[in-house]
A and B are shown apart, each in its own frame.
Chain A
Amino acid sequence: MKIDVKELLIIEDDKQRYNQSIKLFDEARRDVTRRVREAIQENNYKITRIAAEIGVDAGGISRRIRNDNTTFSLPAPALVKFSRIYMKMSCHELFFESRGISVLPKSLSVMLKYIMSGSEAKRDEILAFIAQRYENALASNELRTDVKSHELMRERILEQAGDRYIQPVYLFGSSAPAALKNAVKRYMDPEIEQAGNLSSIMYYAASLGTSLDYFLAVDYTPFTDLKLFGDDDGQIIVDEELRDFVSKYLLLTPSAQTEVFKFIMKNHWSA
């Protein structure tokens, strides 16, 4: 069931918009349950194999797809793997039935802008630099492949709030429902390991105009389109080298990301 996000966003009242969205997203998730079951049957996928591959128990998957009234859900890392490996699509597409556009944060957008506007030689230099950093991280097992989902949520909410110069709790409007504000507050508390409700996370993505994968996956580039922050009329980034740059960058540790940031800025300022 295709979700018309624009239709939802025109609802002016924060509470009404949230409640109506959650209702629709729950319905979409029930539809996903049916589609997933059909896909598994059509492709003769073995539940045990899927379970082993995505890191959940087989019983859990069976239970989730048995009944059409079940709102489909899996832990975030498992959901990301399942969508990409078995459904050959992004999580966004699985639930919204559209590919999804991941809007890059401001700092990454500025870096990409500088790469795109620089000379070919500078671009090659930067791509070689990040490739080297990525190889080093891979060799020393330092890629960010197992970030806990609540930590990733906190990181992404902070990133969104930072780029809008607003307190995280007000990201979804000052009159947003208490349930939504409290969920954001819990994400901000490092002591709380909150898994989060998938329909609410879908609401975050829809409200902030980005993909669901942005909140669920460290590397949100596979199967989603990329766009620069604030570039509403801008083009989708189709250059595979740049997409690869973003993918590698997201998987680096913060200190390695800082090295890349420094390299690009220095390169730009010294040009």
Chain B
Amino acid sequence: MGMGVERVSVQLQDALFEYAQNRDAESRAAIERFKKANASAFRGKIIDGRLMRETKILTYDKLSEIMRICQLRLDEAFDLVGVEVRWPGEDFERLASACDKLPSELISQVAATARELAPDWQKREEIDELLPTRRALNILRRKTSCGDRMNLEIEELRHAWDDGKFFTTIATEAMPEVAEYLQISLHWLMRLDRDILVYAKKPETEAVLDEFSFMPPDLRDRFIQAVESLSEGASYED
């Protein structure tokens, strides 16, 4: 399976860069440093001998860095381009709520258990190397049957599946919908660094949700109940 190249959509990049430019002097300086460090990703587009605009070709591995400069959560970033990030399921919401009440150290322990409970498939190193579209297609292949895939309602996902050999990528703006459809964490799907938040209030909770994405349905409920029993009635200080 070829890796290909997958880039963050220009629309989202533009929105993030504009946000950083308008945020404060510190963000502006940080974004300039980022541009210098990643000069190859910014090409001037020359039309009729004049530099018209910058073409950004940032790949997903740089997204966390830009998010950090903007100090935005991913759901807030998507909000800039009018895309809503919804929970992949009520169970994710319940789990995040229970985890966020715990001190970070304890959530890390919960995340370690979630990792142990999640199927081994996810731990295969090659999966972690995959880009978002390939991750989505892998999940789709494992979670659905041929019949299910014939009736895919998400156009971007259907195109990527049908054109798998040609590495047709899923547009960044469609990723939240894909994550919701596949009931997996958008944080995992978009290969975000641990400290970038999507659903939770604490980074450690995002790590729990990443692993939770792969748990079988029966275990999911049992796991949530276990975390809830830990957070209910307890008073913790972080």
Query: Which residues of B (138-154) have their CB < 8 Å from a CB of A?
Result: 142-145
Inter-chain CA distance A269–B214, complex, in Å, is: 21
B233 to chain A, nearest CB (A): 12
A179-231, CB < 8 A from B: 230
Q: B116 touching A164 by the CB < 8 A rule? A: no
User: B22 an interface residue at 8 Å Cβ cutoff?
Assistant: no
Whole-angstrom distance between the Cβ of B141 and the nearest chain A Cβ: 9
Cα separation A163 to B229 with both chains bound (whole Å): 24
Judging by beta carbons under 8 Å apart, are A258 and B225 in contact? yes
Knowing A162-B219, A262-B225, A262-B226 are in contact, say whether A269-B145 is a contact too (CB < 8 A).
Answer: no
Task: Find chain B residues with CB under 8 A from A164 CB.
Answer: 119-121
Q: Which residues of B contact A230 (CB under 8 A)?
A: 120
A269 touches B217 (CB 8 A): no
Chain A residue with minimal CB distance to B143?
A167
Interface string of B189-222 (1 = CB under 8 A from A): 0000000000000000000000000111111011
- Which listed segment binds A: B31-39, B52-60, B106-114? B106-114
Which chain A residues numbered 125 to 181 have a C-beta less than 8 Å away from chain B?
A: 158-159, 161-167, 169-170
| B230 CB within 8 Å of chain A | yes
Residue pair B106, A269 in contact (C-beta under 8 Å): yes
| CB atoms of A110 and B113 under 8 A apart | yes
What residues of B have a CB within 8 angstroms of the CB of A268 in the complex? 109, 113
The answer on a CB contact under 8 Å between B109 and A110 is no
Interchain Cβ contacts within 8 Å, total number: 72
Smallest CB–CB gap between B136 and chain A, Å?
A: 14
Distance in angstroms between the alpha carbons of A81 and B201 in the assembled complex: 53
- Residues of B near A162 (CB, < 8 A) are 119, 215-219
Q: Which single residue of chain A is at the shortest CB-CB distance from B109?
A: A269
In the complex, whether B11 has a CB less than 8 A from a CB of chain A is no
With a CB–CB cut-off of 8 A, which chain A residues contact B222?
A: 107, 257-258, 261-262
User: B228: shortest Cβ distance to chain A, in Å?
Assistant: 9
For residue A270, CB closer than 8 A to chain B, the reply is: yes
Interface residues of B (CB under 8 A from A): 106, 109-110, 113, 116-117, 119-122, 142-145, 214-219, 221-223, 225-227, 229-230
A-B contact pairs, 14 of them (CB 8 A): A107-B219, A107-B222, A158-B218, A159-B218, A164-B119, A165-B121, A165-B214, A167-B145, A258-B221, A258-B225, A261-B222, A265-B113, A265-B223, A269-B109
Q: Show the binding face of A for B, using Cβ within 8 Å.
A: 106-107, 110, 113, 158-159, 161-167, 169-170, 230, 254, 257-258, 261-262, 265-266, 268-270
